[in-house]
């Protein structure tokens, strides 16, 4: 006697960026795919009028999907296209990594990406390489920007206290003044006052 394989539990995620757009086409196509594949649809989660550039905390339905993944209540997340999940390759890889950690898979309809297949898993590995490449490019741009700014005379890091200010801060503290009172009298921030006192400790 053969036992029938358990149907995959799938959460369908759809999103549009503006209120004038509709998620209906995405919803319909993904439900058709689910029916054809024999998936058990746990729910359809829609973020409407929310940009893909927004983080997980600004996309409540996307957050709800990932929580179900973490709770291992879904086996697969299906989305219409890669840009429905996020606007950067790095965001996509982070999402894929979270799914992988929970033993869940991802299906992207337009890109024909299905991590339940060997080809899909290989594509995931390639995406990880490209995401690292993207991070390196961003890092290089930041470093180059800081070098240009330094060459132009801009300084970075915490502002240094003027000569003698540290001694004055410590003297006022010895007189019983509060940190706020010292900051106001010396003309600096609370953080600078705390650093001056810590350096003397």
- The residues carrying an active-site annotation are 17
Q: Does residue 41 contact residue 68 with C-beta atoms inside 8 Å?
A: no
Q: Angle 89-101/118-151 helices, nearest 10 degrees?
A: 130
Q: Angle 60-70/89-101 helices, nearest 10 degrees?
A: 30
Cα(120)–Cα(106) distance, rounded to whole angstroms? Answer: 9
């Amino acid at each position: 006697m053969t036992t029938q394989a358990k149907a995959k539990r799938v959460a369908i995620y759809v999103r549009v960026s503006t209120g004038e757009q509709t998620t209906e086409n995405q919803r319909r196509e993904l439900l058709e795919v689910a029916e054809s594949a024999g998936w058990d649809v746990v729910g359809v989660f829609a973020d409407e009028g929310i940009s893909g550039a927004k983080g997980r905390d600004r996309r409540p339905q996307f957050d709800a999907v990932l929580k179900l993944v973490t709770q291992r209540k879904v086996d697969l997340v299906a989305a219409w296209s890669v840009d429905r999940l996020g606007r950067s390759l790095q965001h996509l890889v982070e999402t894929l990594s979270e799914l992988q950690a929970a033993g869940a898979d991802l299906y992207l309809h337009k890109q024909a990406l299905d991590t339940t297949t060997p080809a899909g898993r290989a594509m995931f590995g390639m995406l990880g390489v490209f995401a690292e490449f993207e991070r390196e490019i961003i890092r290089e741009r930041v470093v180059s920007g800081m070098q240009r700014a330094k060459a132009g005379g801009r300084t970075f890091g915490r502002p240094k206290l003027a000569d003698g200010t540290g001694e004055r801060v410590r003297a006022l503290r010895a007189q019983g003044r509060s940190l706020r009172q010292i900051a106001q009298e010396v003309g600096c921030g609370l953080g600078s006052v705390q650093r001056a006192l810590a350096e003397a400790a």
